[in-house]
Structure 1
Amino acid sequence: GHAGTLISAILFLFRQKWRTAINRSAEAMTIFAVICALTMVLTHTGRPWLF
């Protein structure tokens, strides 16, 4: 989840010129993780027997 944000932040702090392509995939990974987490929460809301 937070790995993509961490990768982007480290590359930004070190001012890497080649970071744009990696940033896109790292941030996409973070967004995908958030969407997956939201999907799981919405799927299991009100259904404790599915845990």
Structure 2
Amino acid sequence: MRIASNDARAILPDLIRRAESGETIHLTRYHRDAAVIISAERYERLTRNLMEDN
């Protein structure tokens, strides 16, 4: 899902729930990706994998 960062403010709790259920949320600014919301579990798995590769 892609959503403008200004629009995300109003529905942030919903976006967090969606990320927790496995969805990747792209926050855009000026029609470009600026940030991504993912679950904490997914973030930890990704960073753990990065550390193991080094």
- From the two aligned structures, give the one with the greater strand fraction: 2
Normalising by the residue count of structure 2, what TM-score does the alignment of the two structures yield? 0.36
Which protein has the larger Cα radius of gyration, Structure 1 or Structure 2?
A: 1
Q: TM-score, normalised by structure 1?
A: 0.37
Q: Which has the higher helix share?
A: 1
